[in-house]
Amino acid sequence: MFTLAHLSDPHLPMPQARVLDLLGKRATGYYNWWRNRVQLHRPEALAGVVADIKAQKPDHIALTGDLVNISLPDEFARASTWLEGLGTPEQVTVIPGNHDVYVATLWREGLGRWGAYMAGDGQPPATDFEVFPTLRRRGPVALVGLNSGLPKPPLLATGTLGDAQIAAAEKLLGELGREGLCRVVMIHHPPLTTESRFKRLTDAAAFQAMIRRVGCEIVLHGHNHRSEVARIAGPQGAVPVVGVTSASAAPGSKYGRARYHLIGIEREAAGWRIAVGIRALKADATGCEPDGRLVFNSGLPAALAA
């Protein structure tokens, strides 16, 4: 069995910023962090989740964005150090979230610091957004990374893939499907048409149409800070779309306690068996404990077990 740990939205602690750094959209985000979000996202919760991931020793780690908050250069530097503590670029795959592109930032001062964690197999560290979709093969699993993060106006947390990225993803997923690999799509925004217009993926309908044509085995996302499951019709049956709670959510927050998902993937006669174990932060924040389980078989509807 191949095991994949999925975490998202760690929202690492915000550094103090200079007034000149807070022009435009960053000002409202900075104020909101210190007024509200600093109590929702706690470093001790994230430390407990990371400790548990390391204790479980997964084969790979998938991180679906929002490492930072308002895209300050110091935030990217701190996140780079944190990523090094989580694992090497060979052990961890990262895609951006909307907070990672909160405003337009020079690549070398921003996402470029994590370029090795975003690059596909055999590729140098990513140097721009053109790198997406990315492909990493790990055992029987093909991790396809998408970028839905684009700088947006104030008060909007929407995401967009764009026609070119969707078309490239369709070609890639078709090829991987013919190879018989378990295709895991990583995206930050939930690719659903029912989301709030202020937080939605603007081209979710186009993404869903693509999945209906070529399929995949599972879609992993973050953004909503909740563990949740939906489905998109695929050529071999329903494709599970699984979101995860923020990995730094405080126990008493509106999101509930921090969680991550430990996903077991194994081949079976009819296709693939994918078991998603939900692991939630313990009361003492020293690690995590089981908090539910989802089992998906070969793209068919999920069976929920306690």
Strands ordered across the beta sheet of 134-138 = 134-138, 141-145, 182-186, 218-221, 237-243, 228-234
pLDDT for residue 300 = 42
CA distance 51 to 72: 27
CA distance 18 to 79: 19
pLDDT for residue 270 = 75
**Residue 194: how many CA atoms within 13 Å on its side-chain side?**
4
pLDDT for residue 168 = 98
pLDDT for residue 301 = 39
Question: In tens digits, what is the pLDDT along the chain, a chain of 306 residues?
Answer: 999 999 999 999 999 998 988 988 999 999 999 999 999 999 999 999 999 999 999 999 999 999 999 999 999 999 999 999 999 999 999 999 999 999 999 999 999 999 999 999 999 999 999 999 999 999 999 999 999 999 999 889 999 999 999 999 999 999 999 999 999 999 999 999 999 999 999 999 999 999 999 999 999 999 999 999 999 999 988 999 999 999 999 998 999 999 999 999 999 887 899 999 999 999 999 999 999 999 998 744 343 322
pTM, 2 dp: 0.95
Continuous H helices in 70-203: 73-86, 115-118, 163-179
